[in-house]
């Protein structure tokens, strides 16, 4: 029990550090929950629970930037609530064995987003600047895209903030601080409504999730003071290596063993 508690706390700690500097902490915390024996669906729900405080803290930090977009916030919140509910409901309806088989593919998708997210966002920004006067059909497609992102976030939280940034770039946003605030707001709302459904269904592993949460808070606090000393590029390279290895392990474990 002591080893398990220390392991989960340290996983949360390093996940919190990684999230604060480069993002991608779920590549550490989600596999850690699986490693200690939490079932796949419960581990996914628990990871959403343990990650949400970081989203909330970040969204609060960007509250001034968010206030400049107050007219857009009701749309973001409504779609986040709807998408989070649908995504969480779909997760709870998914058989455990099917979700277990989907884990490598979900991790692969999140890994590719993490690796190529910057390039995708730059490309979408160029597209958005070339088509600033989008048609009503284009605006509708953007709303459906955001809804799909929120459904993904309710179903599988890893990589959510990267996909939200892609949406914001495509929607024509250019202020990076405002984009960070909006991505964290959407992530918070999606996670909170999904957590409510997970609590109602009783799938959150509270003991394990609380240990990861405490570690995440500690890691985020330490990273806030040490961020200037840790090169973001080095941390990002570490996350990429870890995510590729973890994804490869799950492919081998589920399909090759």
- Give the start-to-end residue ranges of the domains of the chain: 1-256
pLDDT of residue 180: 81
Contact by Cβ (8 Å): 18, 161: no
Q: Where does the pLDDT of residue 215 fall: very low under 50, low under 70, confident under 90, or very high at 90 and above? A: very high
Distance CA 64, CA 47 (A): 28
The pTM score is 0.84
CA dist 100 and 233 (Å) reads 32
CB 75 within 8 A of CB 37: no
Q: Are 213 and 191 in contact (CB under 8 A)?
A: no
* Residue 136 confidence (pLDDT): 59
Taking the C-alpha atoms of residue 71 and residue 151, their distance in angstroms, rounded to an integer, is 23
User: What's the rounded Cα separation, in Å, for the pair 130 and 241?
Assistant: 35
- Tell which residue, 236, 257, 253, 237, has the closest CA to residue 104: 253
Highest mean pLDDT among 2-11, 13-22, 140-149, 244-253: 2-11
Could you give the percent of the chain with pLDDT greater than 70?
89
Alpha-helix residue ranges (DSSP H) falling in 94-231: 96-130, 136-155, 160-170, 176-201, 206-226
Kindly state the DSSP code that residue 231 receives in the 8-state scheme.
Answer: -
Q: Which of 20-24, 57-61, 62-66, 194-198 has the highest mean pLDDT?
A: 194-198
pLDDT, one tens digit per residue, over 49-104 is 998 888 888 888 888 888 888 888 999 999 999 999 999 999 999 999 999 898 88
Give me the pLDDT at residue 170, please: 76
Burial of 52 (0-12, 13-18, 19+ CB in 10 A): buried
Q: For 46, list phi and psi in degrees, rounded to 5.
A: -65, -40
pLDDT per residue over 166-187, tens digit each? Answer: 788 777 777 878 888 898 899 9
Selection from 244, 230, 210, 218 nearest residue 38 by Cα:
210
- pLDDT tens for residues 102-158? 888 988 887 887 778 777 767 766 766 665 555 556 677 788 889 999 999 999 987
Contacts of residue 161, defined as CB under 8 A and 6 or more positions apart, other chains included, come to: 23, 183, 184, 187
Query: 238: pLDDT confidence band, cut at 50, 70 and 90?
Result: confident
Would you tell me how many other CB atoms lie within 10 Å of the CB of residue 225? 8
């Amino acid at each position: 029990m002591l080893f398990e508690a220390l392991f989960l706390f340290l996983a949360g700690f390093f996940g919190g550090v990684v999230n604060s500097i480069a993002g991608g902490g779920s590549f550490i915390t989600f596999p850690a929950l699986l490693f200690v024996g939490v079932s796949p669906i419960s581990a996914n729900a628990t990871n959403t629970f343990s990650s949400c405080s970081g989203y909330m803290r970040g969204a609060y930090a960007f509250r001034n930037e968010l206030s400049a977009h107050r007219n857009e916030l009701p749309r973001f919140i409504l779609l986040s609530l709807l998408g989070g509910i649908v995504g969480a409901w779909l997760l709870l309806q998914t058989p455990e064995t099917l979700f277990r088989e989907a884990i490598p593919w979900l991790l692969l998708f999140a890994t590719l987003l993490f690796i190529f997210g910057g390039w995708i966002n730059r490309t979408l920004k160029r597209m958005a600047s070339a088509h600033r006067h989008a048609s009503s059909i284009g605006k509708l497609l953007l709303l459906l895209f955001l809804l799909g992102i929120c459904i993904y976030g309710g179903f599988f939280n890893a990589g959510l903030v990267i996909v939200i940034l892609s949406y914001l770039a495509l929607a024509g946003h250019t202020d990076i601080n405002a984009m960070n605030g909006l991505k964290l707001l959407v992530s918070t709302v999606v996670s909170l409504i999904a957590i409510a459904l997970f609590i109602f269904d009783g799938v959150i592993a509270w003991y394990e999730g609380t240990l990861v949460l405490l570690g995440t808070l500690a890691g985020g606090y330490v990273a806030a003071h040490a961020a200037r000393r840790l090169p973001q590029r080095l941390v990002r390279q570490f996350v990429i290596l870890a995510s590729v290895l973890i994804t490869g392990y799950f492919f081998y474990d589920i399909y090759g063993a």
